[in-house]
Structure 1
Amino acid sequence: MSLMSMISRFRKAEEGAVLPFVGIVSLALIGATGFGIDAARLMLLHSSLQRAIDAGALSTVAKLDTATIDVELRKFAVANFNNGEIGGTLDSLTWTISSDNKTLTVKASASAPATLMKILGVQTISTSAESVIERSTNGLELALVLDNTGSMSGTPLESLKSAANTLVNILYGDDAVAENLYVGIVPFSQSVNVGTSHAGWMKSGSIAAHDWGSTSTGGSWGGCVEAQAVKADDISDAVPSSKPITPYYWPDGTDNNWIRKGKYSDPLTTSLGPNKNCPAEVTRLTPKKATVVAAIAAMKAVGNTHINFGAVWGWRMLSPKWRGLWGGDMSTYNLPLDYYSKNMNKAAVIMTDGENTMSANVYSAYGWLADKKLGTSNETAAETELDNRLSSVCTAMKNSGIIIYTIAFNGPSEATQDLLRNCASQNAFFFNSPTTAALQSAFKQIGDSLSNLRVSK
């Protein structure tokens, strides 16, 4: 029998069995079609859900702060969930953090209305997804180059200490000893105090050649240093073995009269004597939070402002040329590491509340203004030279791969703000902080930025 004959017989048949058969076949065809359509929609729903929680987890994993993670996770997940295309709904979103605070697990479910599957009684399609993100930590060497000049005395210095501790708390969290995080403090005024343990860096016989006071007053070199006599050396990371350093010594005179009628004043301090206006000693790179916190607490406000001198010593703390020279934890951990070492970043925060100064009656790392160690005895011209040297140091640091953040506190001049803005690695890394609240915010933002820098996603 031919196919056409069979079709003709089905048309003419009067038996009641044919129509139900056709109905069943038709329903099966519609169900199969509906299943295919809704299966495709289900795949799209799952893809959207997985993408949403992956994005949320990746965006949140940097800090894993349980106080804010739920809000941040939901914000990013919702923003990345494409619910409009298929009318989907994000039904649930839960997360857990591992005991070592390094692994974030996110689980979620979503649903959407079925289409042709509704004929078979299926009203919705649903799916679930899971995202597990393990946070690995990049290394960071960080030098905090902080203004400790006389204008910071009182409330400004206390504000700086509080803000700096905010940054430290962000980076260290609850860790007493951080993993691959090394922070150093470089307080600066008109000099930098490298520490008396580094007398070997000084020019031979230079410390003994000075009159540091009698034994009875306890007079001795306080650790501050003068600038290199040659400009090219002053703006470089040259090591003491090739460029020995001159110890800082403020001589006796009318503005620092510490020898009266042949007798020493008692005691000789940073307010009077050879070490006058010598700031707190630098703190070498260390992974120990308590050491950094103690260094911040020890800062004191003295003297005039040489931002460039603080910056160059911040560079010398991060430069691999100085490996093996600083001692302490830097020797223990073989620091500083080479530039561009795998999974290691180098950064500096340079903060000041004022312009570079070179006063005629103040002895500094560049001696007296009249000595023309900056190429001039004109105060304005000398200060311009200090600005130029800061720019040169910043450029050299950035060219070496060091990330620089800068902060202008308490409204220094527009020229100084521009100087600091140009010193920063990018415009967003410069912070104009005219108030204590703004300073606190600046250090927090820098802490968050550095925290994100440390996360390998």
Structure 2
Amino acid sequence: MVTSGLTLVSRIVGRYVARFAAAEQGNIAVIFAIALLPVLGFVGAAVDYSRAAQARSAMQAALDSTALMVSKDLSSGTITTSQISTKAQAYFNALFTATNALPSVSIAATYTASTSMGSTIEVTGTGTYTTAFMKVAGFPTLDVGANSTSAWGLVRMRVALVLDNTGSMADDGKMAAMQTAAKSLVDQLSPLAKTNGDVYISIVPFAKDVNVGASNYNKYWVDFSDWDAARGTRSANHNTWTGCVVDRDQDYDTKNTTPTSGNAGTQFPAEQYSYCDTGSSSYLQPIMPLSYDWNSLKSRIDAMKPTGNTNQGIGLAWGWMTLSTGDPMNAPAKDTNYTYKDAIVLLSDGLNTQNRWYSNAWQIDARQKKLCDNAKAANITIYTVQVNTGSDPTSSVLQYCASGSDKFYLVTKADQTVSVFKDIGTSLSKLRVAR
């Protein structure tokens, strides 16, 4: 806008110059010279204001990030209240990019602690822009200022880590990289909890099935109809079930409907999946419900092994289940004094290959898209990661399921998984920044 405005002004001035130069009356040239001064003054003022506005925008961006990082440091105990101002200035100096326009910016940080309303950090920046044109008119400088506030304490977070445990995860170091990344994410999120319950994390390993735990063989929400039919006259005790379930009946497979006794469609069909047998060398680990036992969460991640075919939908469905109150995962009730951010992080290294009904990707993907629509409509934020170290096409369903293009990640080398999870952790822990 500044460039086009200058061009227009120069054209207008040029026309008047040509017209006045052709005039015979000398006083017109004098009048023009006098009139030209304010025109040039307006043009110069536009340039100075534009440069100052750009510097303020850069200041605002740096202040937003500064407020966020200081609040994270303070909430995690990395710094004390006496270090806030020094830390804020250091963060801002490292982030601010418009140092030519504003060579010196003073930063003030104000911390307000509250147990009832949430804590806040307000960071204010002030600087002086030296004008290039307006000084002729008596304005040698312009004051430039901005502020940003980061609030925390009233937002609690619940995150389901839905992790691909299929056989292909054994290739190219993908399983080990995922385990390292997932454990690092636990370590990244756990310091955000000032009290127990501020942050919860669940672990959902998946292949074609998920393992809900063999100890649940007597729960009403497990449907043994198909399991019994497969044994016929050799029907065995349900306590010999190895703990795996397949997708629920359609359309319950795309929802988080709480199961009810007597309604088989809402229940979870048992399957004697060989990889759920604890005697298997590639034992599919059971789901771990929401927990803030950080060591146990990381131990469950360490125990995962690659096995079986890919059914992202069942993993995603159970990730959502772990975030839901009531059976079967019984997430803790939410305190009405807080707001909650619920999220699912889904990582898979390949395309869908098998679910309860289908063995082709497009039909499985269609069910998964419905599930993702329903989860996002319920205010679940979904992050998706495709670890594609081979020649698979980019997954359209993982892109579709992500809550925005910035929440889909394509990994082409296993060791990139750690940095991707770190980025997701930063996004998850990002506190509300208000101006």
TM range (shorter): 0.5 to 0.7
Q: Deviations over 1:127-153 (max 9, x none)?
A: 999979453142222111110112223
Give yes or no for contact 1:143–1:185 (8 Å, CA) kept in 2: yes
Query: What SS is found at the alignment partner of 2:342?
Result: strand
Q: How does 1:10-409 map to 2 (within 5 A)?
A: 56-64=62-70, 72-76=91-95, 79=98, 84=101, 89-90=103-104, 92-93=106-107, 104=121, 133=149, 135-137=151-153, 138-153=155-170, 155-173=173-191, 175=193, 180-199=198-217, 200=219, 201-203=221-223, 220-228=240-248, 230-241=249-260, 242=263, 243-250=266-273, 269-271=278-280, 279-318=284-323, 320=324, 323-326=325-328, 330=331, 333-334=332-333, 343-358=339-354, 366=356, 373-374=357-358, 379=359, 382-409=360-387
Give yes or no for contact 2:322–2:329 (8 Å, CA) kept in 1: no
Q: Using the alignment, how far apart are the partners of 2:108 and 2:386 within structure 1?
A: 42
Aligned-residue Cα RMSD (Å) equals 4.6
Whichever residue aligns with residue 194 of structure 1, its letter is V
Q: Using the alignment, how far apart are the partners of 1:237 and 1:150 within structure 2?
A: 27
Q: Using the alignment, how far apart are the partners of 1:99 and 1:58 within structure 2?
A: 19
Q: Deviations over 1:248-298 (max 9, x none)?
A: 2148xxxx9xxxxxxxxxxx63528xxxx6521111122343332232222
Aligned to 1:429: 407
Q: Using the alignment, how far apart are the partners of 2:387 and 2:415 within structure 1?
A: 11
Determine which structure has the larger helix proportion and give its number. Answer: 2
1:71 CA displacement: 5.3
Aligned to 2:397: 419
Q: Using the alignment, how far apart are the partners of 2:54 and 2:397 within structure 1?
A: 47
Q: Using the alignment, how far apart are the partners of 2:199 and 2:393 within structure 1?
A: 34
Q: Using the alignment, how far apart are the partners of 2:292 and 2:146 within structure 1?
A: 35
Query: What SS is found at the alignment partner of 1:271?
Result: coil
1:54 CA displacement: 6.8
Q: Using the alignment, how far apart are the partners of 1:151 and 1:438 within structure 2?
A: 17
Query: What SS is found at the alignment partner of 1:60?
Result: helix
Aligned to 2:16: none
Give yes or no for contact 2:66–2:92 (8 Å, CA) kept in 1: yes
1:406 CA displacement: 0.7
Give yes or no for contact 1:93–1:108 (8 Å, CA) kept in 2: yes
1:172 CA displacement: 1.8
Whichever residue aligns with residue 320 of structure 2, its letter is W
Aligned to 1:16: none
Whichever residue aligns with residue 445 of structure 1, its letter is D
Give yes or no for contact 2:63–2:147 (8 Å, CA) kept in 1: yes
Q: Deviations over 1:194-253 (max 9, x none)?
A: 223433121368878867989xxxx8333211222x3322222232213222222148xx
**Structure 2 portions without partners, runs of 5+:** 1-52, 79-86, 132-139
Return 166-175 or 434-443, whichever deviates more.
166-175
Q: Using the alignment, how far apart are the partners of 2:142 and 2:399 within structure 1?
A: 52
TM-score (structure 1 length as normaliser): 0.62
Query: What SS is found at the alignment partner of 2:104?
Result: strand
Give yes or no for contact 2:253–2:371 (8 Å, CA) kept in 1: no
Query: What SS is found at the alignment partner of 1:280?
Result: coil
Q: Using the alignment, how far apart are the partners of 2:180 and 2:349 within structure 1?
A: 15
Aligned length: 352
User: How has the CA–CA distance of structure 1 residues 416 and 385 changed in structure 2, closer, same or farther, with 3 Å as cutoff?
Assistant: farther
TM-score (structure 2 length as normaliser): 0.65
Give yes or no for contact 2:243–2:272 (8 Å, CA) kept in 1: no
Whichever residue aligns with residue 136 of structure 1, its letter is W
**Structure 1 portions without partners, runs of 5+:** 1-46, 115-123, 257-267, 359-364, 367-372
Q: Deviations over 1:40-91 (max 9, x none)?
A: xxxxxxx999998776443223233669965542255564x8x85xxx6526
Query: What SS is found at the alignment partner of 1:301?
Result: coil
Whichever residue aligns with residue 225 of structure 1, its letter is V
The answer as to 2:422 corresponding to 1:444 is yes
User: How has the CA–CA distance of structure 1 residues 89 and 204 changed in structure 2, closer, same or farther, with 3 Å as cutoff?
Assistant: closer
Whichever residue aligns with residue 92 of structure 2, its letter is L
Query: What SS is found at the alignment partner of 2:69?
Result: coil
Q: Which has the larger radius of gyration?
A: 1
Q: Using the alignment, how far apart are the partners of 2:183 and 2:166 within structure 1?
A: 19
Q: Using the alignment, how far apart are the partners of 1:112 and 1:176 within structure 2?
A: 41
1:191 CA displacement: 0.7
